[in-house]
Amino acid sequence: MIEEILQQKAKLVDEAIPKFLPITPPDEMYKAMRHLLDAGGKRLRPSALLLAAEAVGGKPENVLPAAVAVELVHNFTLIHDDIMDEADLRRGLTTVHKKWGVSSAIVAGDALYSKAFEILSCTKSEPQMLVESLELLSKTCTDICEGQWMDMNFETRKDVKEEEYMRMVEKKTAVLFATAVKMGAVLSGANREIVRALWDFGRHTGVGFQIYDDVIDLITPEEILGKAQGGDIIEGKRTLIVIHALSKGVTIDALGKSNATRSEISAAITALRESGSIDYAMNKAVGFVEEGKAALKVLPDSEAKKILIGLADYMIERKY
């Protein structure tokens, strides 16, 4: 049921993207900007924004530009992430920098970033609510950059602590979820207690989402994942799984080895599983999602609230 509803919300966003981001001259730039957007994706963040608006009595159609803006910010980060990770695939497609070149991909990502704010300003809402949302999204983009900087820094360190990883994940991933649901509430005129509750919901479930995403990277085959299995190991990422394993003295030979063979990656995944590190991360992800759901207690019961709770569960049940 939850996947069906999420597909319905995603369809609203899918249909709105070409309206707010048409292909205009220079055509190739806009094609590069739309490349990952047109490939689909789960649209979890914009869907969460629409659901949050509904949960506080707002109309989803009024906040649709804000939902598109959040999706554009997400895709801007994906394009730049793929450049930094030298990734070949995203959502089963050639990455933007592989198809158009690194310089063009940087420009496409930058243009998505700026377009997001232009589109957000089209939201039908009170001026002060719009200003708050613009400020919130702007700060969130800075947080994402800080989180990415921390993530890159971790790759050269062997002493990354779990608390540092949690701070990084909150900035790099969770704040955009938190911002999405908070914006849905703010733009729909919710009171401060409800706005805060939705922020907490998005923050906790966003952390759970990222931890579980690190698990998926290891346990999901490439044909389902849409990118190379074990990519985080090759890139030397200090995920919670790796941090936990290293703290237990586990040797991960393929960690940070760009030319690691499939058998080496497979051996690393086996070592992480046998050390209990994958299960440890799974349990942490579940705990964060449960905290997120608990934050919604202050919201009045509604179908939208029920779906938000279902969305939180979906974060740690999805296969890719």
Tokens, residue 67: 């939902």
In a domain, 73, yes or no: yes
| pLDDT tens-digit series, residues 62-113 | 999 999 999 999 999 999 999 998 999 998 899 999 999 999 999 999 999 9
In a domain, 320, yes or no: no
pTM for this predicted structure: 0.92
Burial class of residue 98 (count of CB atoms within 10 Å of its CB; 0-12, 13-18, 19+) = middle
Contacts of 243 (CB under 8 A, 6+ apart): 160, 161, 162, 165
* Residue 276 to residue 272: CA distance in whole angstroms: 7
The DSSP result for 116-164, as a single string, is: HHHHHTTS-S-HHHHHHHHHHHHHHHHHHHHHHHHHHHHTT-S---HHH
In this prediction, residue 157 carries a pLDDT of 86
In a domain, 258, yes or no: no
Q: Which of 218, 184, 152 is nearest to 299 (CA)?
A: 184
Range of the domain at 123: 2-202+297-315
What is the pLDDT tens value at each position of the chain, 320 positions in all? 788 999 999 999 999 999 999 999 999 999 999 999 999 889 999 999 999 999 999 999 999 999 999 999 999 999 999 999 899 999 889 999 999 999 999 999 999 999 999 999 999 899 999 999 999 999 999 999 999 999 999 988 889 999 999 999 999 999 999 999 999 999 999 999 999 999 999 999 999 999 999 999 898 887 787 777 888 899 889 999 999 999 999 999 999 898 899 899 999 999 999 999 999 999 999 999 999 999 999 999 999 999 999 999 999 988 77
> What length is written for the chain?
320
Contacts of 130 (CB under 8 A, 6+ apart): 120, 121, 123, 187
In this prediction, residue 175 carries a pLDDT of 98
In a domain, 196, yes or no: yes
In a domain, 8, yes or no: yes
* Residue 58 to residue 49: CA distance in whole angstroms: 11
In this prediction, residue 224 carries a pLDDT of 80
In a domain, 248, yes or no: no
In a domain, 29, yes or no: yes
In a domain, 11, yes or no: yes
In this prediction, residue 226 carries a pLDDT of 75
Q: What is the DSSP letter of 173?
A: I
Crossing angle of helices 64-85 and 127-154, rounded to 10°: 20
Q: How many domains does the chain have?
A: 1
CATH number for 100:
1.10.600.10
Q: Which of 73, 171, 189, 175 is nearest to 130 (CA)?
A: 189
In this prediction, residue 130 carries a pLDDT of 97
